Amino acid sequence: MKPTTSAFLMGVVFAWGLAIAELTRPPKVLGFLNLAGNWDPTVLVALVTAALVYYLGYTYIIPKSTRTALAAKLVGKEALTPLVIGGAVLFGLGWGLIGLCPGAAITDLLSLRYDVGIFVVGMVLGVYSAKAYIGVKPR
């Protein structure tokens, strides 16, 4: 399979997963993140299931050569520097504020809503800012 074909198909399947678990709906996500409201752990079930499926496949199906190639790619991305920790906090603030993470926001673009569009414009600018900053200041 061509890399672009497989990536496209996996994107399609990923969107199905997001939509079925309703991670595409910020009120559903905030229903999990907001412990003070009518708590709904669906999103937690989806995240844990996804990680568990990945763990099982990674451990028992993915060939060792692929795992080795992946590990080589991830060298230097594992350090918990203050910038990395701060980034995780900023991400959490934004996610908790709106209830959209990057995959859900991009999938939601299909509805051509201006409010989702504004979130994505902010997100792209944020990604670009980080890229520009890290570009001049390697860690």
Structure tokens belonging to residue 45: 């079930």
Closest separation in Å from C-beta 124 to other proteins: 6
> What is the rounded distance in angstroms from the CA atom of residue 131 to the CA atom of residue 90?
15
Rama region for 40: left / alpha / beta (φ>0; ψ in -120 to 50; rest) = beta
35 sits near other proteins (criterion: CB under 8 A): yes
Please select the residue that binds other proteins; options are 7, 136, 137, 138, rule is CB under 8 A. 7
130 sits near other proteins (criterion: CB under 8 A): yes
Query: Which residues within the stretch 78-117 sit at the binding site for other proteins (CB under 8 A)?
Result: 78-80, 83-103, 105-111, 115-116
136 sits near other proteins (criterion: CB under 8 A): no
137 sits near other proteins (criterion: CB under 8 A): no
> What is the rounded distance in angstroms from the CA atom of residue 61 to the CA atom of residue 54?
10
8 A C-beta contact, residue 39 and residue 108: no
